[in-house]
């Protein structure tokens, strides 16, 4: 087994005790500048999520959980009812930061339930402490889920010379080694010849800026391509699998992920190449029967007309900028979770695997 080098600095870290603060790696500056930002107010956390300083579904969930703690710290000396009001306000506020990644709402819901389960005698400080512990648990569990996803998924890539991935699903997008990238990292340990084709991922270039940065640091063979090259890379048989992460998976397996994922799923099917999704159970939203009701975030026009500050379209040119799309379950060969591999991708199989003990 090959020893790989270590990955990037943590995307999300809590500094100090219950009165501490949230430290985020500012991903908008990568790879050129490695800088952290310290969030001591919930407004800073909200802005960091909205602006993609912290991004990737699991990392958004962890950041939001700690954001709740930051948002409630100032209410710790007050009455329990004032604290409860502050908590509700903070949860609602953070829920408005981004709409698609369900891990955000999942994490906020966990904190709401943790506070709701406190005894009536609990003080505001007790509840704050409980929220902090729950946020820490979410972070620790995410790390474990990443490791388990890597273990389950690696055998699926064992015979591959090349694999294609989209967006960034690694240590920058989670508290651990990632989802799809954890699978790639685990597979590369046994198969050092594995070459990763990383889509640049227009318009915000998570693939070009982040995935290549992570993989190069780890000593994994990575080759950057423009999104439009994926079809040709498949046609040339340079890849034997496609693997992506997810922002929200409906009960039937329809999967929302970074814009471009739907197209890749169609291309993979057309070329007879397996298309894998890797995601923790926190990314499933089984309240939605299928992908048609997954809310798709639309982002500002400037992200496509003026990427990274340079005007590349005529002033005032109309745009459509959905940040995500939905790959239908029928195009997905398997979904790799921390509880096992879901194949075929159907509601009953999803229920069966997700109800298995970890
Ligand atoms: O807009 P982003 O950068 O937050 O989008 C991220 C993705 O689409 C990832 O593929 C997804 O969150 C999975 S991360 C493990």
pLDDT at position 7: 82
Instruction: Give per-residue pLDDT as tens, 79-129.
Output: 999 999 999 999 999 999 999 999 999 999 999 999 999 999 999 999 999
Contact 173 CB / ligand 1 (< 6 Å): yes
- What is the 287 CA–ligand 1 centroid distance (Å)? 21
Helix H or strand E encompassing 218: helix 212-218
**Based on the number of CB atoms within 10 Å of its own CB, is 78 exposed (0-12), middle (13-18) or buried (19 or more)?**
middle
Nearest CA owner, ligand 1 atom 8: 258
Helix H or strand E encompassing 353: helix 347-354
Burial state string for 243-261 with b = 16 or more CB within 10 A and e = fewer than 16: bbbbbbbbbbbbbbbbbbb
Please report the beta strands in the chain, taking only residues with DSSP state E, as ranges in sequence order: 12-15, 21-25, 36-39, 162-165, 195-199, 221-225, 241-244, 248-250, 255-258, 275-278, 284-285, 324-327, 334-337, 340-342
pLDDT at position 358: 73
**Catalytic annotation on 247?**
yes
Contact 323 CB / ligand 1 (< 6 Å): yes
How far apart are alpha carbons 231 and 192 in whole angstroms?
Answer: 25
CB 203 within 8 A of CB 161: no
**5: confidence class by pLDDT, cuts 50, 70, 90:** confident
In sequence order, the 6+-apart residues with CB closer than 8 A to the CB of 233 are 162, 164, 197, 225, 239
Is residue 70 over pLDDT 90?
A: yes
- The two tokens of residue 111 are 């904190």
Contact 246 CB / ligand 1 (< 6 Å): yes
- What is the 302 CA–ligand 1 centroid distance (Å)? 20
Radius of gyration of the chain measured on its C-alpha atoms: 20
Shortest-distance atom of ligand 1 to CA 204: 3
- The two tokens of residue 323 are 């940040």
- What is the 246 CA–ligand 1 centroid distance (Å)? 7
Annotated active-site residue in 247, 254, 285, 325:
247
Query: Who wins on pLDDT, 47 or 2?
Result: 47
Instruction: Give per-residue pLDDT as tens, 148-188.
Output: 999 999 999 999 999 999 999 999 999 999 999 999 999 99
Instruction: Look at residues 307, 137, 332, 145 and name the one whose alpha carbon lies nearest to residue 249.
Output: 332
pTM of the predicted protein model: 0.97
**356: confidence class by pLDDT, cuts 50, 70, 90:** confident
Q: How far is CA 160 from CA 63, 178, 218, 226, 340, in A?
A: 34, 20, 19, 21, 20
Contact 179 CB / ligand 1 (< 6 Å): yes
- What is the 316 CA–ligand 1 centroid distance (Å)? 28
Instruction: Look at residues 93, 55, 44, 121 and name the one whose alpha carbon lies nearest to residue 299.
Output: 55
Is residue 2 over pLDDT 80?
A: no
Contact 177 CB / ligand 1 (< 6 Å): no
- What is the 198 CA–ligand 1 centroid distance (Å)? 14
Instruction: Give per-residue pLDDT as tens, 311-331.
Output: 999 999 999 999 999 999 999
Question: Which residue of 58, 169, 176 sits with most ligand 1 atoms within 8 Å of its CB, as the best mutation to test the pocket?
Answer: 169
How far apart are alpha carbons 356 and 324 in whole angstroms?
Answer: 29
Q: Within 10 A of 316 (CB to CB), how many other CB atoms are there?
A: 8
Contact 214 CB / ligand 1 (< 6 Å): no
Contact 274 CB / ligand 1 (< 6 Å): no
Instruction: Give per-residue pLDDT as tens, 236-270.
Output: 999 999 999 999 999 999 999 999 999 999 999 99
pLDDT at position 140: 98
């Amino acid at each position: 087994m090959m020893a790989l080098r270590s990955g990037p600095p943590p995307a999300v870290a809590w500094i100090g005790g219950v009165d501490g603060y949230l430290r985020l790696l500012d991903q908008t500056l990568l790879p050129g500048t490695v800088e952290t930002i310290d969030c001591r107010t919930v407004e800073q956390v909200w802005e960091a999520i909205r602006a993609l300083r912290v991004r990737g579904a699991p990392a958004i969930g962890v950041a939001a959980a700690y954001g709740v703690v930051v948002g409630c710290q100032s209410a710790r000396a007050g009455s329990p009812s004032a604290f409860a009001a502050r908590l509700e306000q903070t949860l609602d506020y953070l829920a408005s930061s981004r709409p698609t990644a369900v891990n955000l709402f999942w994490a906020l819901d966990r904190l709401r339930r943790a506070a709701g389960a406190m005894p009536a005698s609990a003080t505001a400080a007790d509840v704050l402490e409980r929220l902090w512990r729950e946020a820490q648990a979410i972070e620790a569990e995410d790390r474990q889920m990443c490791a388990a996803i890597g273990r389950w998924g690696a055998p699926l890539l064992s015979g591959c010379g090349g694999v294609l991935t989209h967006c960034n699903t690694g240590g920058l997008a989670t508290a651990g080694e990632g989802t799809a990238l954890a699978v790639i990292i685990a597979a590369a340990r046994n198969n050092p010849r594995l070459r990763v084709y990383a889509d640049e991922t227009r318009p915000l270039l998570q693939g070009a800026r982040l995935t290549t940065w992570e993989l190069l640091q780890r000593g994994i063979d990575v080759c950057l391509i423009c999104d439009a090259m994926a079809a040709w890379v498949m046609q040339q048989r340079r890849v034997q699998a496609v693997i992506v992460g997810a922002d929200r998976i409906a009960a039937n397996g329809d999967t929302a992920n970074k814009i471009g994922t739907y197209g890749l799923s169609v291309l993979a099917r057309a070329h007879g190449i397996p298309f894998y999704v890797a995601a923790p159970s926190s990314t499933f939203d089984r309240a939605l029967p299928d992908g048609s009701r997954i809310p798709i975030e639309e982002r500002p026009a400037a992200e496509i007309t003026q990427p990274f500050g340079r005007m590349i379209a005529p002033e005032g040119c109309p745009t459509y900028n959905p940040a995500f799309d939905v790959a239908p379950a029928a195009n997905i060969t398997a979904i790799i979770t921390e509880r096992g591999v879901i194949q075929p991708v159907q509601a009953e199989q999803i229920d069966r695997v997700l109800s298995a003990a970890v």
